[in-house]
Amino acid sequence: MTTRLELDAAVYSLEAVQKAAYRFIDRLTILISQGQGTVNCDLDLVVGTQMPLGDVLADFKRELLDQQLRLQIKRETEPARNLILAYAFSRTGLQQ
């Protein structure tokens, strides 16, 4: 039985949904599509999965939030990371 999860595209990016889906590849078969302002996930349990669907879905939703926050933190810290990398490489003499 397929379960559809409709996510607000303003809250969850396609990249975050794809990353979360990949983390659950052993438990769920997930077909991702985009609608008008939504990212849709059609989910089916992988045959042999011992956990109830409700438990797997709850874990998947937590993973979605985790992946979205990771992307947000990555964007917010990009200037600082680039500055640190530029400084680190400026001290190596690789620019000669």
* Domains of the chain, CATH where assigned: 3-90 (3.30.70)
What is the pLDDT, as a whole number, of residue 94? 65
Q: How many residues make up the chain in this entry?
A: 96
pTM above 0.95, yes or no: no
Tokens of 58: 């709850």
Cα separation of 91 and 7, whole Å?
A: 46
Each residue's pLDDT tens digit in the chain (96 positions)? Answer: 899 999 999 999 999 999 999 999 999 999 999 999 999 999 999 999 999 999 999 999 999 999 999 999 999 999 999 999 888 888 776 655
